[in-house]
Amino acid sequence: MTTAPTAHPHIEHELFPYKEMADAIRFLSIDAVNQANSGHPGMPMGMADITTVLFSDFMRFNPQKPDWLNRDRFVLSNGHGSMLLYSSLHLLGYDVSIEDIKNFRQLNSKTPGHPEYGHTPGVETTTGPLGQGIANGVGLALAQKIMAAKHGEELFNNKTYVAVGDGCLMEGISHEAAEFAAHNKLDNLIVLFDSNGISIDGKTDMAVSTDNLERFKAYGWAVKSADGHDHDAIHHALSWAQSQTQPVLIEFKTHIGYGSKKMQDTAKVHGSPLGADEANAVREELGWDHPPFEVPAHIYSAWHKAAARGQASYMKWHEQWEKTPTEKREAILNGQRPSEKALHALDLVKKDAVSETPKLATRQASGACIDAFQPHMDSLVSGSADLTGSNNTKPLDYKKVSAEDYNGNYIHYGVREHAMAAIMNGLSLYGGHGRGLRPISGTFLVFADYLRPSLRLSALMNQPVTYVLTHDSIGLGEDGPTHQPVEHLAMLRATPGLTTWRPCDLVETAECWQAILCDTKHPAVLALSRQGVPTLRTTHVKENLSSQGGYVLRKEQGQLAGIFIATGTEVEIAVKAHEELQKQGIHTRVVSMPSVETFLKQTKAYRDDVLPPDHQQRVVIEAASTFGWSAIAPFGKVLGMTSFGASAPAPELYEHFGLTADHAVQAMTELTTS
């Protein structure tokens, strides 16, 4: 016989009927998963009591204003248990109807298999890949600290609550994020650990024996354990958490599949529907005498009463917001958008570059651009994964974000690339919809492998985070193939919603930054070189030519014979080949293509103007994998990498792998004479 949750009589009977409220979550979750014949009922059944007490007594939110800037955030890192969140949102009065609950996991419903940001009101971030949510939560908590330091605690004083499971804490990203949170003393972060000891394969002790309380205590967290089915214990643990001066981990001991004699504490209930017979058995066990998808009016009333607390908090905050000077409010509401001064500063970089024609690595060019526009974007928060000097992401007026002073503009992420990307997602999500903070950060392009899971979610959530990825080819030289990216540009370009930019000089770098800053709906990668490149754009034009992805950099001087297409450092090679063939009376044009995917999105008329369809004699030059270039040069030649790199000085490597002007001339000659 399952023991019913116990609760303090005062809490249970005078304020909220916690047991019935929690059971409403349980049975909406059971019924939705049964109807879909797909899903994860066990976790919602186990975490229902914790969630009920949290939303009833501690969370500040307003279902009528789900984007309220100072709301408390609730992140479901163990996102497979999405029905826990959907049931709660429905009961609280968010725009999630009972029909949405019935349509769980169906096409175009508001209740997809895992929570999706921007898809369901009340969902703070897209979760499902385990560990992402806790790292996003760290970013959300850090964002509150930064916003409070910049704009005042009277406007920004919320907390972030993150639900995690055993699997989240097994993932390596949880270590990176938790260590970072402790170092930065994020006392506004409270993690609720659903410690049920079960994973898909069975009991977690088959694979792990870590004492997570001791682990997090060693990081510098405040830790506590409590019974996740005892409402009084839950309430006291959450009350304790409010006054801690460190990030908090509460380990709630729970039973997965709570209430099911047949499936409780088994792996089967993790990811399989209970079925009608067992659902009925659980109803009898817990005393829930209501048919599927039916919740009594008095239970809805209790949940709406819980939501009403947040409405009162919202009204008090809104009064303060209305008293805030218009200029400050506008800065907050448009924090992710570039100011005209920022864009103008980049125009000045272009003008100076044309007149001075410097030879710079594009990573240095990017640093000059950041120095130019950062003073005009107070919301910009830059950073690096321990490669500050290499990535050139530190602005001239550098001020470190730290536990001693959160009002900075630069974050030292340490050697934590994966957490860095997920934290940046949290920083961006805190404001959302163009508001709040605009994060950028750097590492080497080859370490996009470490960024990839979080970077993919940046794209899935349409967050305007910018990844400055330097040392972008074999041109980094002696560090060798472990550090020379080959397949990475192709991987990034293949990611939906992500825009990859690879500029050829300082002028293009400034234009790429303009395009990136103006796009507040997509993440971007800026791939930058270690080696110096000359200024190839020698005439100033106001128009941002790079923003169209590709354009004619050098025109043919006679009848067009062929087209060179190149990106980044290889544009210089294309220009040299073009000039050599010009001497031979063979007329070619050079197309610089800093963003392949952006070019392919242009109108057919524009693409045909740059790359005339009747001129298929095309030579592509890029010191990276040749994969993907068939869309640009289906009948041409691609000079690129078909293997990993090697350790040697950059000029020797370019010669060794056939990436020189001589090889480009030979390739074009073969195309135009065949």
Residue 192 lies in a domain: yes
State the DSSP string of 275-340: -HHHHHHHHHHHT----TT---HHHHHHHHHHHHHHHHHHHHHHHHHHHS-HHHHHHHHTTTSPPH
Look at residue 60 and tell me if it is in a domain.
yes
Chain segment 552-606, per-residue pLDDT in tens: 999 999 999 999 999 999 999 999 999 999 999 999 999 999 999 999 999 999 9
Residues annotated as catalytic are 417
> Among 533, 563, 594, where does a domain finish?
533
My answer on whether 523 and 403 are in the same domain is yes
Q: Are residues 51 and 186 in the same domain?
A: yes
Nearest to 78 by CA among 358, 265, 237, 270: 270
140 and 188 together in one domain = yes
Q: Are residues 507 and 415 in the same domain?
A: yes
Per-residue pLDDT tens digits for 406-449:
999 999 999 999 999 999 999 999 999 999 999 999 999 999 99
Tell me the two tokens of residue 537: 């754009």
Domain that includes residue 600, residue range: 549-673
Decide: 93 and 63 in contact? Cβ < 8 Å: yes
Asked if 278 and 417 sit in the same domain, the reply is no
- For residues 273 and 369, membership in a common domain is answered with no
Query: Into how many domains does the chain fold?
Result: 3
Residues 56, 82 within the same domain: yes
Looking at residue 674, its pLDDT comes to 78
Using alpha carbons only, how large is the chain's radius of gyration in Å?
A: 28
Residue written as token pair 């879909």: 36
Is the Cβ–Cβ distance between 565 and 379 less than 8 Å? no
The CA distance from 463 to 294, in Å, is: 37
Same domain? 136 vs 193:
yes
Whether 330 is in a domain gets the answer no
- Per-residue pLDDT, averaged over 500-505, amounts to 98
* 41 and 120 inside one domain: yes
Taking the C-alpha atoms of residue 34 and residue 638, their distance in angstroms, rounded to an integer, is: 53
Q: Is residue 160 domain-resident? A: yes
The CATH number of the domain holding residue 636 is 3.40.50.920
Q: Which of 319, 350, 376 is the last residue of a domain?
A: 319
Query: Per mean pLDDT, which range of 2-16, 293-307, 334-348, 632-646 is the poorest?
Result: 2-16
Same domain membership, residue 141 and residue 97: yes
pLDDT value for 7: 38
What pLDDT, on a 0 to 100 scale, did the predictor assign at position 13?
40
Residues 581 and 627 reside in one and the same domain: yes
> Does a structural domain hold residue 335?
no
Output the pLDDT for position 142. 99
Beta strand pairing call for 73-76 and 202-203: unpaired
| Structure confidence by residue, pLDDT tens digits, 52-68 | 999 999 999 999 999 99
Q: How sure is the predictor about 525, in pLDDT bands with cuts at 50, 70 and 90?
A: very high
User: Does the structure show a pLDDT above 60 at 155?
Assistant: yes
* Residue 1 forms part of a structural domain: no
Give the pLDDT of residue 4: 43
Residue 176 included in any domain: yes
Same domain, yes or no: 495 and 622 = no
Residue % of the chain over a pLDDT of 90: 97
Q: What is the CATH number of the domain that holds 118?
A: 3.40.50.970
Predicted local confidence at residue 14, as pLDDT:
54
Largest CA distance in the chain: 94
**CA torsion, ordered 110, 111, 117, 123, to nearest 10 deg:** 100
Please report whether residue 2 resides in a domain: no
| Residues facing 588 on adjacent strands | 562
Whole-angstrom distance, CA of residue 524 vs CA of residue 336: 14
213 vs 222: CA distance, rounded Å? 9
SS3 of 533, please?
A: strand
Domain boundary among 479, 505, 533: 533
